[in-house]
Amino acid sequence: MSADALPITPARFAAALPDLSLASLYAKAAELRNSIAHLQSSNSQLEPFAIDGDVDCYEAIQENKVVIERMLERIELLKREVEERGVRWVEPGEGNKEEDVNGTAEGGDRAAEGREGGETRADGAGGAREREQRQNGESQQREEDDGVFL
């Protein structure tokens, strides 16, 4: 990232979320958590040098802390989007182990992941919008089969 580049604002980030599937929202949260873990690891490695007076290391730690806070804010925005769809946000390592294994919730019901309109479901049924996008992609793929893909 160049020094002149600015991160996307929380408002713009949140505005992009409604178009994403639940799987994409959870994947983005996982990506952010992974980045946070790497930044925290970097801070741990830099800390002894900062304590010894290395100003560059101290500044790098402070910058990493700002980035971590921004990433945590984005995870909260992802959580809010999932919950606005009527789905319970599940943190990593949280949840019913049986549900994790077989996809059933308490009472034996299949766990739905999507909005009430049925956009995305854990059982793979998907919703109207996803089916339409999948069909459009398949027909476009058939039309483009003669092209070169990079």
pLDDT (tens digit per residue) in 17-40? 999 999 999 999 999 999 999 999
Per-chain mean pLDDT for the chain: 77
Q: What is the 3-state secondary structure (H, E, C) of 76-141?
A: HHHHHHHHHCCCCCCCCCCCCHHHHHHCECHHHCECECCCCCCCCECCCCCCHHHHHHHHHHHHHH
pLDDT of 143 above 80: no
Token readout for 72 is 């945590």
Residues 14, 86 share a domain: yes
Residues 65, 19 share a domain: yes
* DSSP type of residue 8: P
pLDDT-derived band at 112 (thresholds 50, 70, 90) equals very low
Residue 18 buriedness (CB in 10 A; 0-12 / 13-18 / 19+): exposed
Inside any domain, residue 67: yes
Residues 131, 84 share a domain: no
Inside any domain, residue 114: no
* Structural domain containing residue 131: 119-143
In this prediction, residues 74-95 reach a mean pLDDT of: 93
Residues 22, 75 share a domain: yes
CB 25 within 8 A of CB 76: no
Whole-model pTM: value is: 0.62
Domain final residue pick, 75, 91, 107:
91
pLDDT of 142 above 90: no
Residues 83, 19 share a domain: yes
Inside any domain, residue 109: no
Q: How many domains does the chain have?
A: 2
Token readout for 92 is 């990593």
Inside any domain, residue 13: yes
Residues 123, 87 share a domain: no
- Of the two residues 142 and 54, the one the predictor is more confident about is 54
Residues 78, 137 share a domain: no
In this prediction, residues 44-50 reach a mean pLDDT of: 97
